[in-house]
Copies of this chain bind each other. A is one copy, B any other.
């Protein structure tokens, strides 16, 4: 089974639109549905007790989200928020059960997706201890730009993805621009030298 088939299955389901900043579901809620993105961009965030936010995952066009909580049978562990104009198909639990029943291959596809996400998350745990803040910021910039090249990511979002403060991101951008690695364009950035960006630690000097 491939992802485009999911679109066919869900064809005709009602859609809902969200503007940037609108919350699709909130941490702690019980999952009542699974979501499919027709177009747009959604971020999954966790807000810790101290108020510190972590940017956990990105979902873009033709992605499923909300399925982790659904299959784990847990409440949402984070909140999903539209990062730009986004159209979503909301698939209620009951329909979702039925679709999974009819398409056993779908379970395998989702298991593959979640398994990959687990590896990514665990590698991030390691990098938080292993890599410098600047290296993590460099890699996060590259990753976020790759995932959504036309998105103007804020310093705050990059910080929450990389595990650093938005001030550290600003400082890094200034430094990297002076080195000719990237170019600030208003609030957006353009990466000029991907190799030097990703090998920033060796370039620093």
Q: Which A residues lie at the B interface, using CB under 8 A?
A: 46, 48-50, 52, 54, 56-57, 67-69, 71-74, 77-78, 104, 107-108, 110-112, 114-119, 121-131, 163
Interface contact B112-A77, CB-CB below 8 Å: no
Interface contact B112-A73, CB-CB below 8 Å: yes
Interface contact A163-B122, CB-CB below 8 Å: no
Say how many copies of this protein the assembly contains: 2
What is the CA–CA distance of A67 and B111 in the complex, to the nearest angstrom?
A: 10
What is the CA–CA distance of A128 and B67 in the complex, to the nearest angstrom?
A: 25
What is the CA–CA distance of A136 and B173 in the complex, to the nearest angstrom?
A: 31
What is the CA–CA distance of A36 and B124 in the complex, to the nearest angstrom?
A: 27
Q: Which residue of B lies closest to A129 (CB)?
A: B163
Interface contact A130-B72, CB-CB below 8 Å: no
Interface contact A119-B163, CB-CB below 8 Å: no
What is the CA–CA distance of A103 and B121 in the complex, to the nearest angstrom?
A: 29
Minimum C-beta distance from A124 to chain B (A) = 5
Given A107-B108, A163-B128, are A123 and B68 also a contact pair (CB < 8 Å)?
no
What is the CA–CA distance of A68 and B118 in the complex, to the nearest angstrom?
A: 8
Interface contact B107-A111, CB-CB below 8 Å: yes
Residues of the B chain whose Cβ atoms lie less than 8 Å from the Cβ of A72:
112, 115-116, 118-119
Interface contact B52-A122, CB-CB below 8 Å: no
Instruction: Name 20 interchain pairs, CB-CB below 8 A, sorted by A.
Output: A46-B123, A48-B130, A49-B130, A54-B122, A54-B130, A56-B125, A57-B122, A68-B118, A68-B119, A69-B115, A72-B118, A74-B116, A77-B122, A107-B108, A107-B111, A110-B111, A111-B114, A118-B118, A121-B125, A128-B129
